[in-house]
Amino acid sequence: MGYLPARHLLRALAVLFTFVGVSVANADEVSIGIAANFTDAARELAREFEAETGHTVSASFGSTGKLYAQIMNGAPFDVFMAADVRRPALIEQHQAGVPGSRFIYARGKLALWSPAPNAFDDAEEFLKQQPFARLAIANPKTAPYGLAAQQVLERLGYWPALQGKLVRGDSIAQAFQFVATRNAEAGFLALSQVKAWPGEKGTLWHVPQSYYQPIDQQVILLNRGTGNKAALAWLDFLKSDTAIAIIRDYGYDTDN
């Protein structure tokens, strides 16, 4: 195969650089506030999204309540992925989000987990007997998974008796950290966190979903993201077969 004449090579390079320039020009960045329970799933989703679209994702993780407060105080997010439906509805009500853009992207599941093997055989008896110094939950006031944990303990009748042993994380991510580092012997966590944990398998109880209100996790397009191609593409991506498969792999249910 011979070499291209210099003028042909220059023309080919010019076409290539023009194509790259158009691709870069069409790429955007979406800034997303994401509920802490969805951290691992969101990171994998972002990798797939960036590979498919050329857009980039800037993600901030935290409790739904704190992210909501930040958004209402002007935090520069384009999209909000909450762990409930109440905060996105409030955002729409306060005209901080785009009407009609909300939808449920995942339905979370609560689990009681200890990194210790054979920590309990009967989870309800374990909670009744309290053979532990600390039990971790997320703050029920700011984290939907913390509220779900409270609902479970109230249903079982153990909420008052456990007050002295509960350690509350600012988010479900911090609650998980308490348990993973064994600063708490066990905790009520998002099932997705346990599934993503690379360490010891430990002891797990899939809390019956009838024990707590459904953890429907809703996304909403914020006003700042209205003209952002990457934000609109992200919302479409969340409904794709690729995204749904990833979300389910991390232990969530979906409506699709």
pLDDT tens readout for residues 175-228: 999 999 999 999 999 999 999 999 889 999 999 999 999 999 999 999 999 999
Residue 36 carries which DSSP code? G
Kindly state whether residues 128 and 171 are assigned to the same domain. Answer: yes
Q: Are residues 181 and 198 in the same domain?
A: yes
Could you read off the pLDDT of 142-178 as tens digits, one per residue? 999 999 999 999 999 999 999 999 999 999 999 999 9
CATH assignment at residue 59: 3.40.190.10
Predicted confidence at residue 26, as pLDDT, reads: 65
pLDDT, averaged across the chain:
91
Does 256 fall in a domain? Answer: no
Read off the pLDDT of each residue in 242-252 and give the average, rounded to a whole number: 96
Same domain, 52 and 130: no
Is the pLDDT score of 72 beyond 50? yes
The count of domains in the chain is 2
- 48 within a domain of the structure (yes/no): yes
Q: Are 189 and 122 in a shared domain?
A: yes
Instruction: Identify the weakest region by mean pLDDT among 27-31, 77-81, 176-180, 231-235.
Output: 27-31
Q: What pLDDT is attached to residue 9? A: 42
Q: Are residues 11 and 102 in the same domain?
A: yes
Is 132 part of any domain?
Answer: yes
Quickly state the pLDDT bin for 4 (edges 50, 70, 90): very low
77, 42, 37: which is closest to 238 by C-alpha? 42
DSSP-derived secondary structure for 72-132: HTT---SEEE-SSSHHHHHHHHTTSB-TT--EEEEEE-EEEEESSTTS-SSHHHHHHH--S
**Domain range holding 97?**
6-107+214-249
- Give the per-residue pLDDT at 17: 40
Q: Give the pLDDT confidence score for residue 255 in this predicted structure.
A: 83
